[in-house]
Amino acid sequence: MRTPIMAGNWKMYKTAREATDTVRSLGEQVAGVTGVEVVVCPPFTALPSAVAAASGSRIAVGAQDCYWEKEGAYTGEISVAMLAELGCRYVIVGHSERRQYFGETDATVDKKIGAVLHQGLTCIGCLGETLQERESGQTFAVLERQVRGGFARHLSASHLVIAYEPVWAIGTGKTATPAQAQEAHAFLRGLVKEVAGPGVASAIRILYGGSVKPDNIAALMAQPDVDGGLVGGASLEAGSFAKIVAGAAQTRKT
């Protein structure tokens, strides 16, 4: 049984005060929703206030990135132990914006996933192809390279979640069609089966990300291999994210 996850990736939006307001409002709006894990991932500076505002609600808080060492002379970096102490329960790793603008590679994704899992937090590891890769027929080859290079060693960990985010769909309003999402998710699940076996493949949750909105979530969640969403723009406003959460509830997959 795979419980859906709806995770909001707030990117570099919201101060601590703004995060408090949004989390409080979201908490009220999703209070009655069952059967879905609701996660918000604010910037590092807003994590303590988001955790405080989420207390007593069904919202969990996650970070958008981390460093893999526990501590040390790594100016500007944040360790998973530091995040755990704040009350974070999830960490996003390998988002395409980190790969594109901050030099993240499959090798660094591998180390970060390992660090998050070692600390006992849930890791949402991201992958996905660019438009040029899709148009030149390389989608599956790219996904396979990313899984084998960044995820393969960790697949049997029950706290690992995969987020398939086609780069061309992120922040563009161009959502993958439900069929395109299903095709990629089925490919990824097949690959997990090959690498880690059928038990892991049927248990691992694979989220879709890229222009998820209240009006397209139901069709995406209706796909057999889509187990939730990683939502950017539409998660910034509590009302819109609450609608997406409601759209994902009760769609548990076996």
* Site residues (vs ligand PGA, CB under 6 A): 9, 165, 170-171, 209-212, 230-234
Could you say which of 95, 97, 129, 133 is catalytic?
A: 95
Least Å distance, CB 4 to ligand PGA, is 16
Question: Residue 94 and residue 85: Cα distance in Å, rounded?
Answer: 22
> Among residues 79 and 216, whose Cβ is nearest to ligand PGA?
216
Asked whether the beta carbons of 45 and 15 are under 8 A apart, the reply is yes
Query: Is 95 marked active-site?
Result: yes
> Among residues 27 and 128, whose Cβ is nearest to ligand PGA?
128
> Among residues 210 and 247, whose Cβ is nearest to ligand PGA?
210
Least Å distance, CB 104 to ligand PGA, is 14
Least Å distance, CB 95 to ligand PGA, is 6
**Alpha-carbon Rg for the chain in angstroms:** 17
> Among residues 196 and 217, whose Cβ is nearest to ligand PGA?
217
Least Å distance, CB 219 to ligand PGA, is 15
Could you say which of 97, 154, 165, 185 is catalytic?
A: 165
Query: Is 194 marked active-site?
Result: no
Least Å distance, CB 127 to ligand PGA, is 12
Q: Which residue's CB atom is positioned nearest to ligand PGA?
A: 232
Three-state DSSP string of the chain: CECCEEEEECCCCCCHHHHHHHHHHHHHHCCCCCCCEEEEECCHHHHHHHHHHHCCCCEEEEECCCECCCCCCCCCCCEHHHHHHHCCCEEEECCHHHHHHCCCCHHHHHHHHHHHHHCCCEEEEEECCCHHHHHCCCHHHHHHHHHHHHHHHHCCCCCEEEEECCHHHCCCCCCCCHHHHHHHHHHHHHHHHHHHCHHHHHHCEEEEECCCCCCCHHHHHCCCCCCEEEECHHHCCHHHHHHHHHHHCCCCEC
> Among residues 196 and 235, whose Cβ is nearest to ligand PGA?
235
Asked whether the beta carbons of 133 and 176 are under 8 A apart, the reply is no
> Among residues 196 and 233, whose Cβ is nearest to ligand PGA?
233
Least Å distance, CB 208 to ligand PGA, is 10
Asked whether the beta carbons of 30 and 59 are under 8 A apart, the reply is yes
Q: Give me the active site residues, please.
A: 95, 165
